[in-house]
Amino acid sequence: MPRVKVARKSTALDMTAMCDVAFLLLTFFILSAKPRVEDPVTVDIPGSVKEVPLPEEGVAVITVGQKKTFFSVEGTEIRKQTLQQMGEKYGIQFTPQEADKFSVLPVFGVPIQSLKQFLALDADQRSKYKQPGIPRDSVSDQLFNWIRESRIAAKALRNLELRVSIKGDAKEEYPTIKEVIAILQRQEVNKFSLITTLRGASK
Amino acid sequence: MAELDTSGGGGKKGGKVRSKKQSTRVDLTAMVDLAFLLITFFIMTTTLNKPKAMDIAMPDKDENQKQELAVAASRTLTLLLGANDKLMWYIGEPGKTPPTVENYGKNGLRKTLLEKKDEVQKKTGKFMFVIIKASDKSIYKNLVDVLDEMAITNIESYGIVDISPVEIDLLKREKLY
């Protein structure tokens, strides 16, 4: 009796479709990924248990480290508008090229008087340049005005209430933080966020 | 699905010599492997990198003075954040009740907070109010830790207030300033 032979099938699968999907997803993730912003000073973020993810839009971050403060705000248009308003306030005219450069600058910490020179540097020089931080004193009031102008810009352009958050170094002494909080309170920002990392509750 | 063999089959009919048709299929397994590896990498780095935040609300500066006396001293716990990762706490008014030196963390601050919270609740029937006073010698991490303990112990009423000279003296006595 002839045995029924089971046809031997090839185990190789057609991978084309899978490959397509994989690369499609890969492209999506690469394009949607935000490049990591390098902090101008080392900031070791303290941990906490209660966590709320920070929204993607409408966030202004004040980085505090080594007694210096740095400022950054999301959105290229908001940045441009903020720069323009700041220029008017301090009587400094920024060229469109400088505004373009500023709009892609993720974080900065220079007094507005030396912002022009800072923008003239290329990316490599800029990362080497030791940023002195934005002055917090009440005479020039620059940090106060940066926050204020960016809030105005965000409100005007996108009708967005800017969420101010503080990204502080864990080892930073409290007076610096106190100054920043006082600056926020002076413009009636009584609700703000502290950026933290996730930590287990047991510690 | 399965790979079709298209190479054979011909060549039976005529005597014409036909060049053997080569399969155009390439094994894509390795490529898919690589693609998924990269996808995993990008998912990990993007979503886990999202900054997390902790919201705090400060009292309005102008109304501060008016509200300060509104809470009874018997149910206020004051935390004084000092140097060297230590803090002091007392209930009531400064100087009248001796402060206790405490560590941060599970067995120190958290235990005290939970105990006192229950105590105050039983005694007065109202919730406890915590006043956080950070001295200039404390660091940012201390503040975040304390705020975190508030979240862990479910204390909803707390405020961050500037430290007074009397309290700095208390910290100095314990060499925490």
Contact A39, A133 (CB under 8 A): no
| Average pLDDT for A172-200 | 82
Inter-residue contact A74 to A55 (CB < 8 Å): no
User: Which pLDDT tens digit goes with each residue over A97-140?
Assistant: 888 888 888 888 888 888 888 888 887 888 788 888 888 887 77
Q: What is the pLDDT of residue A176?
A: 86
Q: How far is A38 from chain B (nearest CA, A)?
A: 13
What percent of chain A has pLDDT above 90?
0
At the top level of CATH, the class of B67-173 is alpha beta
Domain extents in chain B: 67-173
Which parts of chain B register pLDDT below 50? 1, 8-11
Q: Give dist(CA A161, CA A41) in Å, integer.
A: 28
- Helix/strand/coil (H/E/C) assignment for every residue in chain A: CCCCCCCCCCCCECCHHHHHHHHHHHHHHHHHCCCCCCCCCCCCCCEECCCEECCCCCEEEEEEECCEEEEEECCHHHHHHHHHHHHHHHCCCCCHHHHHHHHCCCCECCCHHHHHHHHHCCHHHHHHCCCCCCCCCCCCCHHHHHHHHHHHHHHHHHCCCCEEEEEECCCCEHHHHHHHHHHHHHCCCCEEEEEEEECCCCC
A196: contact with B, CB 8 A cutoff:
yes
Give yes or no for a contact between B90 and B82, defined as CB atoms under 8 angstroms apart: no
| Environment class of A62 (CB within 10 Å of its CB; exposed 0-12, middle 13-18, buried 19+) | buried
> What's the one-letter identity of residue B145?
D
- Check CB contact of B137 with chain A, cutoff 8 Å: yes
pTM: 0.73
Residue (of A66, A90, A70) closest to A147 by Cα position: A70
B141 contacts A171 by C-beta, under 8 angstroms: yes
The whole-chain average pLDDT of chain A stands at 82
3-class secondary structure, B158: strand
In the prediction, which pLDDT does B37 show? 92
- Tell which residue, A14, A7, A45, has the closest CA to residue A170: A45
pLDDT of amino acid B55: 80
Average pLDDT over residues A7-12: 78
Query: Does B2 contact A10 at a Cβ distance shorter than 8 Å?
Result: yes
B6 to chain A, closest Cα gap in Å: 13
Contact list in A for residue B138 (CB cut-off 8 A) is 173-174
* Pair of tokens at residue A86: 């700041």
Question: What is the pLDDT, as a whole number, of residue A202?
Answer: 44
| Shortest Cα–Cα distance, A187 to chain B (Å) | 10
- Residue in chain B closest to A15 (alpha carbons) equals B28
Can you tell me the ipTM of this complex? 0.72
